[in-house]
Amino acid sequence: MKSLIPVVMSGIIAVYALVVAVLIAGDMRPPPGTHYSLFTGFMHLACGLSVGLTGLAAGYAIGIVGDMGVRSYMQQSRIFVGMVLILIFGEVLGLYGYRPVFSNSNLHC
């Protein structure tokens, strides 16, 4: 059961991307209601790329740590706490993608 922790943590990164996709889709309105400017389009592109690339880095880190951590856990059970701590540090990489999204309150993404 403890071997499933890296799988669950990698699924959390997908939720980050889903939240940003919902925020971007909620900001898009039909053309008669509002004008979708070029600036807004590039801002949404930057938000998506920011969350996507940091999610890719976090997923890669969690994959490497999870693979070696689970293999090491089968040989030595004391490694579990260290593995979880390093997985949390890898998960934080995905949160750094949210910083540009919510850094300026008047730019809604």
- Tell me the per-residue pLDDT of 38-53, one tens digit each, with 9 for 90 and over: 887 888 888 888 888 8
pTM > 0.95: yes or no: no
From start to end of 6-106, where are the E strands?
A: none
**So what's the pLDDT on residue 13?**
86
**So what's the pLDDT on residue 21?**
82
Q: Say how far apart CA 67 and CA 82 lie, in whole Å.
A: 14
Q: Residue 77 has what DSSP assignment?
A: T
**So what's the pLDDT on residue 105?**
43
3-state secondary structure 52-100: HHHHHHHHHHHHHHHHHHHHHHHHCCCHHHHHHHHHHHHHHHHHCCHHH
**So what's the pLDDT on residue 33?**
67
Q: Say how far apart CA 41 and CA 39 lie, in whole Å.
A: 5
**So what's the pLDDT on residue 93?**
83
**So what's the pLDDT on residue 103?**
59
Question: Which residues of the chain have a pLDDT value below 50?
Answer: 105-107
